[in-house]
């Protein structure tokens, strides 16, 4: 079906243009040009949907429950939080996984995310024995995304040691066989793509990293891993391997253009150089990193080296892409004592770089998937904002409440007050 949307403004990272229609066919944008016939969206701007590049959907169940000190652990930190997370993970069933994931994904659509990368590491029964269908829990998350209507990159995650039994596979070969079957299954699910991940250098030994990296390269798949989130993780990696986490990933062939490092909070200059040399990217999760006391993203080093950046809401303490982007620049300001810190060469504002990180593109172009969000220009946060100032007003002065609609593959899947079919 061919349709044309007629918003008041079409937004990109540098500003907004009026008088344009966006024509969609077979789930893709086929034309952006002056138009008068189509579905009018008065008082709306159309923008690319945000991509939530790191999600643990089940952790949304922790929201509000972990914001107090436990009598047994008066000094709360990432590691004590992790024990609470393990308890929640041990309660999951395929049915509850689908339900909590659906709620999480629906909240993402309301907030302006039209795509999500699910870093899925709860695989087996609580005692570690695989379900009759070894991918039952991963499929539950994928079906939840279909229920909500959001685009999903599903990453089954390798876990060899640590954690709880239901995270772990007996061998890397068993893990990769499960990835194979999930990829075959996903062929009948157009909104679902399957890649793979290793949990961390703590949870996956050197040999597994080599096998997983090789599998991803062979089939040109996205591959993600947590790295450099906590100082203790770096200390343990140095003790075991004699190198820092990103150095180990480079040695094992895990790094490449389709590799994403989650957090990189404590990556040093040498590690950032390695990411740049290998064309790897970084996913920052500022609301979660702040909530867990992880530290600050080395955003200036990432920008200076041209490392691609994305954002995620991770543990979902908050689901708001505008807040994730704002925190990146705000933290850089706090650390430097300056304003407008993360400005790319040839630009005058951090806004374009931040929005490109959030959207995974700079604006809307023909050939793109028709994954769009509607911005309410009459919202009190945006009233009287000039078109040229709209991108910065969104990043620095607004939040997810200005999103009133979301389209995925050319279908409106969220509208404030209801959901279209």
Q: Which amino acids are annotated catalytic?
A: 263, 314
SS3 per residue for 96-127: HHHHHHHHHHHHHHHHCEEEEEEEECCCCCCC
Asked if residue 198 lies in contact with residue 204, where contact means CB atoms within 8 angstroms, the answer is: yes
Longest dimension (CA), the chain: 66
SS3 336: helix
d(CA 205, CA 211): 10
* Beta strands per DSSP E along 234-343: 259-263, 281-284, 309-311
Residue 174 DSSP SS3:
helix
Query: Which token pair is 64?
Result: 């509000």
Calculate the CA 203 to chain-centre distance. 21
220's tokens: 């040109």
Distance, C-alpha 209 to centroid of its chain: 22
Residues 347-373 as b or e (16 or more Cβ within 10 Å = b) = eebbbbbbbbbbbbbebbeeebbbbbb
Nearest to 358 by CA among 387, 326, 331: 326
Inter-residue contact 293 to 82 (CB < 8 Å) = no
Q: How far apart are the first and last CA of the chain?
A: 14
DSSP3 helix / strand / coil % (the chain, rounded to 5): 40, 25, 40
Calpha distance 321→375 (Å, rounded): 13
Q: 131: how many CB neighbours lie within 10 A of its CB?
A: 15
Residues facing residue 188 across a β-bridge: none
């Amino acid at each position: 079906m061919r349709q044309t949307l007629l918003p008041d403004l079409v937004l990109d990272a540098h500003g907004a243009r009026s008088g344009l229609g966006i024509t969609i066919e077979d789930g893709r944008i086929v034309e952006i040009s002056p138009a008068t016939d189509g579905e009018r969206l008065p008082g709306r701007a159309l923008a690319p949907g945000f991509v939530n590049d790191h999600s643990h959907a089940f952790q949304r169940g922790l929201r509000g429950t972990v914001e107090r000190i436990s009598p047994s652990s008066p000094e709360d930190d990432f590691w004590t939080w992790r024990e609470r997370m393990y308890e929640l993970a041990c309660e999951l069933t395929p049915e509850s996984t689908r339900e909590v994931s659906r709620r999480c994904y629906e909240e993402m659509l309301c907030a302006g995310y039209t795509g999500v990368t699910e870093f899925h590491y709860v695989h087996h029964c609580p005692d570690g024995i695989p379900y009759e269908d070894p991918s039952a829990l991963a499929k539950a998350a994928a079906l939840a995304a279909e229920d909500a209507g959001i685009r999903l990159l599903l990453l089954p995650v390798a876990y060899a040691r640590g954690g709880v039994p239901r995270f772990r596979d007996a061998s890397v070969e068993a893990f990769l066989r499960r990835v194979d079957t999930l990829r075959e299954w996903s062929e009948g699910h157009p909104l679902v793509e399957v890649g793979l991940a290793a949990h961390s250098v703590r949870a996956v030994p050197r040999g597994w990293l080599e096998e997983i990296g090789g599998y991803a390269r062979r089939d040109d798949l996205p591959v993600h891993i947590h790295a450099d989130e906590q100082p203790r993780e770096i200390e343990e990696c140095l003790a075991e391997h004699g190198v820092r986490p990103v150095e180990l990933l480079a040695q094992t062939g895990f790094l490449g253009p389709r590799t994403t490092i989650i957090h990189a909070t404590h990556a040093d200059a040498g590690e950032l150089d390695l990411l740049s040399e290998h064309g790897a990217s970084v996913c920052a999760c500022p609301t979660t990193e702040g909530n867990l006391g992880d530290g600050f993203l080395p955003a200036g080093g990432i920008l200076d080296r041209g490392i691609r950046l994305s954002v995620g809401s991770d543990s979902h303490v908050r689901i708001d892409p505008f807040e994730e982007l704002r925190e990146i620049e705000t933290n850089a300001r706090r650390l430097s004592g300056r304003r407008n810190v993360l400005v790319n060469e040839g630009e005058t504002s951090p806004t374009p770089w931040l929005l490109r990180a959030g959207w995974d593109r700079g604006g809307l172009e023909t050939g793109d998937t028709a994954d769009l969000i509607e911005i309410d220009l009459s919202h009190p946060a945006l009233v009287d904002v000039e078109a040229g100032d709209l991108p910065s007003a969104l990043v620095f002065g607004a939040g997810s409440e200005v999103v009133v609609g979301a389209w995925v593959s050319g279908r409106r899947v969220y509208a404030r007050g209801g959901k279209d079919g």
